[in-house]
Structure 1
Amino acid sequence: MPDIQVGEQVFDVAFHPAESLLYTGLLTGEVKAFRYDDQGQHESAFTVRPSKKSCRALETDADGAYLWTAGKGKGLHTIDVSTHKVVESRKNAHEAPINRIKCLLPHMLATGDDDGVVKLWDPRKPDAVRTYTKHFDFISDFLWLEDKKHLVASSGDGTLSVMDVRSGKTEPHAQSEDQEDELLSMVTIKDNSKVVVGTQLGMLSIFNRKSGWGDCVDRVPGHPHSIDALCPLPSTYPSAHSTILTGSSDGLVRAVQLFPTKLLGVVADHGEFPVERIKVDRAGEGRWVASAGHEETVKMTDLKDVFEDEEGGGDGECEEEKDEGQGQKFGVEEENDSDEEGEEREEEEQETPTVVVQEGPKDSSEEGDDAEDQEGKDSDDEGDDSDAPVQERKRKRKPEKDPLAAPGRRKKGRNEVVADPAFFADL
C-alpha cells in the first residue's frame, strides 16, 4: 500500500476494530480518518479537530462506535465515529499533557500524563474514578492483562507499576525496581506469561509474571537505538506466541522472534525518522500494520507479503542471515582446500594450519610442554593448543549473542591471519 500522506506530523495511530478505517492524531490537534481496501487503495474519510493543541493519543472502544483522543491540551475528548463529531469533552482531565489512553473494560478507560499520573475513567461519569500517583515521570505505555484485570503502566522513571482495577486502593498492586533506563513500550508473549519491555538503550527487558514484578528475568540486546514501540503479531501466524514487531528510533520496524532470539526481517523502513507507533488492524488480527514516526506519512505494510516471503525461505531466516551463514560456510571450504594442497608435503602439514589460523611460532606444535608454557608467559594474547578450540567456538556463537544487529563485514579472528591463496602455491 502506498504511504498515506496526512500533511502534518503524526503522533498516534489507531484502527477501527472491525472496519477498514485508520485514525491518525496530528500535531495540529486534528484527527484524520482514512478508509482503505485489500488492494492497498485509500481515501480520506473525515477530519475532526477536538483541540487546537497536538493530539498525542487515540483509542477506540470495543465495537468502534467511539474514538477517544487526548494530548497536550490536557483534555479527554470523545468522537462519535458515525457522525464524525465531538460528543463530549472533559477539559483539564489531567494537570499535565496526556500521553496515553487505554480502553480496559466496556465502562473503564485509563489515561496517563507527563507527570506520571494515571487515572481511571468511567465514560458515563464526568470525573475520574481513581487516581494513581506512584510514578514521577511520563507514562509511556499501557498494557491490559485481562485474566487478572491488571493494568500495567511503564514510565520514564525506569519502573513498571501494576494496578488492580477491581481494588479501590490508590496504591499499585505491585511496582518494579528501578531498571536504570527509560521504559518506553510493552507487549506480552508466550500466552501472556511474559512481558517484553522496550527501553531507551535499545534493550528488550523480559518480565516473567510468575516470578513477580520486582525485576526483569532476562535482557535481549541487539537494537542499535531506543525501542519506542512494540506490537504483537496476529495469532494466525505459527510463531505469533513468541514473535513481536519492534519500532526503533533508527527508523526500522523489525519482526523479532524471542526464545530463541532471531531477527526474522525488516517490515518497514522510515529512513531517518524514528518509529514511535505500530498498530495492526482488525483488533490486532488483521493483515495491515501501520507505523508512524516524526514524519507526515503513515506507512501501511501488508504482513501477508512479508511473512509469505519468509516462509518461502524454509528456515524462517531473513536474507541477511542467510548471506552471513554462507560466508561462514565459504570460510570452512577454503581451509579444506588449503589442506588438500598440502597433501604432497606431509612433513609441512603441521606448519601450514599454524600460519593460517594463529599468529605465533610456526613450530609451536613440535615444541614440548616447556615451550608451550614459555609462550603463555611471553604473550597473553596467544594461548596453548587447548584454548584454540574454545576461541573458535566463541567466534561461531557471536551471531547468536547479538542476533538483531545489522550484519556488517566479517571480522578477523583473534589469532587468524588472512592469507592470499597464492601464498599456498609456493608451499
Structure 2
Amino acid sequence: MPDTSLGNQIFDLDFHPKEDYVYTGLLTGEIKALKYDTDGSCQHMFNIRPTKRSCRGLAIDTFGKSLWAISKDKTIHIIDANSGKIVDERLAAHESPLNRVIHLLPNMVATGDDDGVIKLWDPRQSDAIREYTQHFDFISDFLWLEDKRQLVATSGDGTLSVMDVRINKPEPLAHSEDQEDELLSIVGIKGNTKIVVGTQLGILSIFNRNKGWGDCVDRIPGHPSSIDTLCALSGDVILAGSSDGLIRAVQIFPTKFLGVLADHGEFPIERMKLDRNAKWLGSVSHDEVLKLTDVEDALEESDNEKTGDEAKTGDGDSDGEAETEEAGLGDVSPKKQINDDESDVSDSDGDRKKKKRRKKSKEAMGSRKKTDTAGDKSFFADL
C-alpha cells in the first residue's frame, strides 16, 4: 500500500476508536487528520495549526470526540476530532516542553514533560488535579493498567514509576531501581502481567508485576540500536520500532525474532500504533510519511512457521530469575547499523532535536553483547 506523504516530520499519531480515521502531529505544529480505506490509501480530512512549535503528542478519548494535542511551547490543545476545531486549551500547562500524553479515563488525561514532571488533568477543570515529580529527565512513554487504575511511566533517567490515580497523593506507588540506561518505550504482554521496556542500548527489559517494580526480571538483547517505540501485536508478540528504521516482530517467552514488519529506511521510528481493528499498523519516522502496514494475517503466518529454532529465555516466573543476555535475539539488523547519536531529531526551527537524551560514550555503546544467531527473516516476507 502507498505511503502517505505529509510534507514534514511526524512526531506522533493516534487512531480514532470508532472510525477509520488517523491523526498525526507534525514538526511544524500542524495536526493532520486522514481517513484511510480498506486498501490503506488515505484522504485528508482536516489540517489545523494551533501552534507554530512542534506537536509532540496526540491522544484521543475513548468516545472519539476529543483529541488532546501537546506541543513544545508547553500548551495543551483540545480539538474536536471530527471538525478539527479547537474547543479548549491549557496555556503554560507545564514549566518545560511537553513530551507525552495519554488518555486514561473519560475524565482523566496524563501528560509528561522534558524535566520528568507528570500531571493529571480533568477536562472539566482548567488546572491540573495532581502532579508527580519523582523523575528528573524526560518522560518517554506511558502505559495504562486498567485493572488496577495504575499509570506506568518510563523516563530518560533510567527508571520507571507506577502511580495509582485513585490515591490523592503526589508520591508514586512504586519507583524502580536505576536500570543504568535510558528507558524509551513500554508495552504490556500476557494480559499486562508482564511489562516490556525498550532501552537506549537496544535491550528489552522484562518486568513481572507479580514480583514488584523494583527491578526487571529478564533482559533480552539483540537490537543493534535503541528501541524507541513498542506495540503489542498479540499476548506474546510485540513490535519494536528502532532508531535504525526497522520495525521488528519479536515473540516473548519463548523469545524468537519473527521478522521485519516495516522499514522506514535509515530514519528512526518515532511512534507506531494499531488501529481499532488491529488490521493496520500506523508508523511514523523522519521520512515525513505515514506508513500503514497490513498486519491482519501476520500472526497466522507466524503460527505456520513455529517449527523453526527458538531462543528460549524462560517465562520469568521461576525462582531466582537472572538476566538472560546470552539468550537474546542475536544481531537482528539486516542492514548497516547507524550511529544512535545521529538518530536524535529536532523540533526547533533550526537544528531538529526532539528529546533531551543523554549521549552515551563510545565505550558504553560498544559494550553490548552480540551473538551470531540469525533470526527467521522469512516472516512477513510477503508484506
Structure-1-length-normalised TM-score: 0.73
State the secondary structure of the residue aligned to 1:210. Answer: helix
Q: Which residue number corresponds to residue 85 of structure 1? A: 85
- Answering whether residue 291 of structure 2 is matched by residue 299 of structure 1, we say yes
Could you say which structure has the higher helix fraction?
1
User: Shift in Å at residue 190 of structure 1?
Assistant: 1.3
Structure 2 CA distance for aligned equivalents of residues 407 and 25 of structure 1: 30
User: Shift in Å at residue 241 of structure 1?
Assistant: 1.2
Between the two proteins, the alignment pairs up a number of residues equal to 323
Q: Which residue number corresponds to residue 269 of structure 2? A: 275
Q: 2:239 aligns with which of 239, 245, 251?
A: 245
Structure 2 CA distance for aligned equivalents of residues 316 and 123 of structure 1: 51
Structure 2 CA distance for aligned equivalents of residues 199 and 62 of structure 1: 29
- Answering whether residue 252 of structure 2 is matched by residue 261 of structure 1, we say no
Q: Which residue number corresponds to residue 213 of structure 2? A: 213
Q: Which residue number corresponds to residue 177 of structure 1? A: 177
8 Å CA contact 1:107–1:122 kept in 2: the answer is yes
Q: Which residue number corresponds to residue 306 of structure 2? A: 315
Q: Identity across aligned pairs (percent)?
A: 60
8 Å CA contact 1:261–1:403 kept in 2: the answer is no
Relative contact order higher in (CA < 8 Å, ≥ 6 apart): 2
CA deviation map 1:374-398 (0-9, x unaligned): xxxxxxxxxxxxxxxxxxxxxxxx9
8 Å CA contact 1:310–1:316 kept in 2: the answer is no
Q: Which residue number corresponds to residue 231 of structure 1? A: 231
Q: Which residue number corresponds to residue 353 of structure 1? A: none
Q: How does 1:8-407 map to 2 (within 5 A)?
A: 8-233=8-233, 240-282=234-276, 285-311=277-303, 313-315=304-306, 401-403=328-330, 405-406=332-333
8 Å CA contact 1:75–1:92 kept in 2: the answer is yes
What RMSD in Å do the two structures reach over aligned CA positions? Answer: 2.0
8 Å CA contact 2:278–2:296 kept in 1: the answer is no
User: Shift in Å at residue 400 of structure 1?
Assistant: 5.1
Structure 1 CA distance for aligned equivalents of residues 213 and 291 of structure 2: 35
8 Å CA contact 2:256–2:329 kept in 1: the answer is no
CA deviation map 1:293-312 (0-9, x unaligned): 1121011100025445444x
Structure 1 CA distance for aligned equivalents of residues 278 and 210 of structure 2: 30
Pair 1:286–1:402, CA change in 2 (3 A): closer
Pair 1:150–1:399, CA change in 2 (3 A): closer
Pair 1:117–1:192, CA change in 2 (3 A): same
User: Shift in Å at residue 403 of structure 1?
Assistant: 4.2
Structure 2 CA distance for aligned equivalents of residues 280 and 404 of structure 1: 26
Q: Which residue number corresponds to residue 355 of structure 2? A: none
8 Å CA contact 1:248–1:275 kept in 2: the answer is yes
User: Shift in Å at residue 265 of structure 1?
Assistant: 1.2
8 Å CA contact 2:257–2:329 kept in 1: the answer is no
Q: Which residue number corresponds to residue 314 of structure 2? A: none
Structure 1 CA distance for aligned equivalents of residues 307 and 33 of structure 2: 35
8 Å CA contact 2:220–2:327 kept in 1: the answer is no
8 Å CA contact 1:10–1:293 kept in 2: the answer is yes
CA deviation map 1:155-179 (0-9, x unaligned): 0000011111011110111100010
Amino acid at match of 2:139: I
Pair 1:302–1:10, CA change in 2 (3 A): same
Structure 1 CA distance for aligned equivalents of residues 333 and 95 of structure 2: 43
Please list every run of 5 or more consecutive structure 1 residues that lacks an aligned counterpart in the other structure.
234-239, 323-397, 413-427
State the secondary structure of the residue aligned to 1:241. Answer: coil
Q: Tell me which structure has the larger Cα radius of gyration.
A: 1
